[in-house]
Structures are given as C-alpha cells and as structure tokens.
Structure 1
Amino acid sequence: MKEKVGLIYNASRKENFELIDKIEKFLHSKGISTWHGKTGVEKTDWEFLKESLDFAIVLGGDGTLLGASRILAPKGIPMFGVNTGHLGFLTEGRPGNILELIEKILSNEYRIEERAMLCGYILSSDPLNSEQGPMFALNDIIISRGTNYKMIHMTLNVDDKPVADYIADGLIISTPTGSTAYALSAGGAVMDPGIHGIEIVPICAHSLTNRPHIVADNRILTITFNKQHEGTILQIDGQETFTINNGRKVRISRAAHTVKLLRLLGDESEFYWTIRKKFHWGSLAK
C-alpha cells in the first residue's frame, strides 16, 4: 500500500501546474498524501528532503529526471518519469494517460529498473586543501576546457595504472545510461543499460590513437593534468559545474547506490524499443 508520493516538477514550465493538480487530486482520492519538490526556479528546498516517500513522480524532460536522480537515488526512492519536455528518453509516461499509468503503479503492475551512477571527486595534492565531492551523475561526468582556447593535457589511470595520455578538448566519463547522450555525439558506443561498465570518450582528441573504450565499473579512474589548465571545468550531467584548479586531479568510480526507475510492464519500457522509437536506431533509410 502506497502512503506518500513525491511530486517533482519543473516549475519554469507553467503547463506542469495543471497536471500536478490533476495528479494530486487523484492520489488524495486514494488516501495517499503527497509532497512537492520544484525545480527550474532560483531556490529549491527538495534537496533537503527528509520525508519517506514510496516513490516520486517526476514531471519534465530528461534534464528534470537527471536532477531528481542525484537527490532521490542516495535515499533509495524510486522515480516514475513523465515526459512534458522534448525527447523524454529516460521518462516513462506521457501526460495524456497519466492517471491510468499511476493506477497501474498503485496496483503493483511495474518493475524496478536499476541504473548505475558515477561518483566523482576533485582531489588536491595539498593536504591542507579539502577535496570536492562526492558528486553523483546518472549520465556522465565531463572534463572540459570550458572557455579556455587551449587543449587539455591529461593522463588517465585505471586502478593507479597509466592507460592513456590525451591532448583534447575534454573527456567524457559515461555510465551505460549516458552512452546515448553526449558520449554518443562524441563517437562513443551505445551501451546496454545492464552492462557493468564505464565508457571513456575523448572530446576532439589531437591523436589518431585515442579512441573511446569501456572499462569494468569496479575500476577506479583517476585523471591527472600534465600542464597548467586554468579554466578547466568538471560538469555533472551537464547541470552542475565545478572548477578544476591547477594541481588538482579527478577521481571517478561507480557510486554505491543506483537510480531506481519505475517501469510499467510492456514493450514500451524496454531499452531497445525506446532507442528504436526515439533515435530510429538500426532503421534502414527510406
């Protein structure tokens, strides 16, 4: 029996308010209480969520779900995404039949799909300087030259063993979920979400030998910088940005927790159905 449901929505999209009101009235009629969390406004308070929620309904696009995942996943709260944005690759439902879909969830006609997250830290060689982190990402952690016109000189170590040197505009460290996002645009492989791997994709590398590759997700990745790199930034899911000051390095591993996505039973919840429908993956030219 579900007792409390979170309603998380992009408050900058006015069309979400009518839908939230509709969902809330439906849940209240079932004796289920609700909790609101807004995104897309200057100040949010749902990051400090202490309530125990059975699950959360996330209204918006993929960006809204990515932002919600960084807060809800560490608390073990499952999410059901409803696409009111653009692509909606990660979301499950659509506004038109939302009450019917929620009814299925309340009737336990769903499965839990777990997606891996990354955990990142910015480390300092100076013991007097504190580390930054943990930073959690569902899609990717990106190292970028930012507004600096110079390429970045980096070395990638896997479990403290040197693997590759890069002179590039940046480096994408991606989960299987993120393999269909920026990593795909940069030439990376599409990864089945069930794969236990981390994809490393260089951005515009100045070398013919730097290619995307995948490592097991029980590895620890360390990226060090071989020259002054003022202006280099680290981005979490393309939403949170941190500066990597000179003398610092980045450590990335699989997070201890996963994102729990509520998936309704049926083909439309299956990864390959989604990628063919949304991206026309594997389709022949007509």
Structure 2
Amino acid sequence: MHSKRLVDESFLVLEPLYSEEKVAYLNNKFDNIFSKQDSARRYVDALDMYELGLMDDIFTPKLMSLIYNVIPNPVLYHCHSYEIDGLNSSPHIAKDNFLNGWHRDIDCLHNLNDNAIQHVSLFIYLTDVGNEDGAFEVCNKKFGYFPGLFQSSNFYRITGKKGHSFLFNRTAVHRASPNRNEIQRRVLKISFQSKDTIMPACDPSIKSHEKRINMLKVQQLVPKKSVLLRSLLGDKNIGDAEIKQALEEKINGESIQVLNTNAKYKIECKMNVLQEFRGYAKDLVFIKNLIIYKIFSRKTRRSL
C-alpha cells in the first residue's frame, strides 16, 4: 500500500519516528562534527554515526519496520545527516539547471519496465522547517517511457517541526527550496532501494562517493548479531531465511502510521513554456541514458 502511494503521489508524511528528546540527542551528538566544516553543505555520514555510537538510536525497530515494509529486500544508498546555510535566495542543489533547482536524481538507475517503487528516501527534519527555511518540495510529474508535463502535475512544499518525518520517491522531480532565514536547515536522510536494482559503482576519486564508501566500511564494523542492519548495509552473506527470522524477532508488531495530509502541503508553481520544454527534454535524456546503461550492463554481464 505504501509503495503504490509513493509511486502515485511521490511522497508520504509519517507519524514522527523519533521523540523530541531523541532529536535533541542526535543534534547534540552531531553539533561538534558540523562545527568543524565550513562548506555551504555539511555532513555527518554513516561512519561518523557509527563512531558516535548512534546506529541503534537511528535504526530503531520502528524505522526498520518502515523500510522493510516499503521495500521487502532493501539496501541502503544514503545514510547521513546534513545541514545547509541560511540567507540563501536560491536552492542549494541544481540551482543553475534553468528549472529553479527542480530535478530528478539521475543516480537512480530506474527499471522503466517495473512500475513498483524502486528508490526511496526517508527525511527526518532535525530543525523546524517553515516556508522560508529550505523546505523540501516535490512534484508528482509522471516518469516513464512517456513522461508527464508540469502543467498536469501537483507541487508540494513539506514543512514541519523538528522530528517531522516523510518518505519520497527519489525518481520524482524535487528540490530544496531556498533557505532564506538565518538558521541552518538540518535533516537526517536515509535512502534505500531494492537489491534487485542496479546501484552505481563507488569511485574513490569522486568526492561525493565518499559517504557511500564510508557506509560500506560500517558494514564491516556492525556486530554479526545485527542481521537487519548488516543486510541493509549490503552484506550479501545474509540469506532470506535469516532476514525473515530477524524481522520476526526484532520488529514483530511494529508499524508506522501514514498521515493522510498530502493535500495540506500543496502549493502553486507555474512553469513557463520554455521550462516545460526543458523539463520534458531532461526526462527524455534521462530515459535514453537509462536504456543505454541497461544495454551496456547486460553486455558486460554476458562477457564475464
């Protein structure tokens, strides 16, 4: 049910996954690491979280239940917290793409023949996020062999207090709106996808891949008894039977309430004719690249 709604609506608002005390605790732990960075976008990655002793605080039974409910055979793609500077008049990502920062995540190697949800991100706001605080925005513009148009789509701006939690479909068009206020916006982001989908290879020479590389390091450090977490981190030695048993033992009875409040976040966002053309053209290029990648990957596997 959650999966289908994510495909159709692009996001789902959840009951808070952490208490106010837990959010304050995480912020207190993260503060020192963030304070040592001077870039406009600062990170606490999975290895930092492990070294801070926070993996069990973050990957609670309730959160694990959510992930395995949305995608039964999940593997992590992102696991980090980040904050962005305030006093900005433009989005902090893709601001120069001629679409005011609206974009799809092109690292989602989407299977165009599969209509099920494939790439999901969980966001938990660690600061209050209002309309001027860099709120996450998403559009349910159709994606597939024949992509949709902006004019026939809905736009949403997701605001909320500390602890506000939501899922979004990573293949959906989205952006972080400008953080115009002085306070840094801080979130916890956990992305996951089906183990059956293709995952881009890590390249140590690419700076942005460092967080994924550190996440793989955590896989080697997590105790053997943490079956579900090790599986999420990509441990291929864990079988389906072991995962099933761990799910029954660790998260049996845990459930997450999905709030039917999507309409509350709807906003008006008008795209002109040129932006409509650019959006459609970008989708076609993305689709072309996915098809080429799939053909190349198939040939590579056959040659091995």
Q: Shorter-normalised TM-score: what interval?
A: under 0.3
Bigger helix share: 2
What TM-score do the two structures reach when normalised by structure 2?
A: 0.24
What TM-score do the two structures reach when normalised by structure 1?
A: 0.26
Structure number with greater CO (CA < 8 Å, separation at least 6) is: 2
Larger Rg over CA atoms = 1
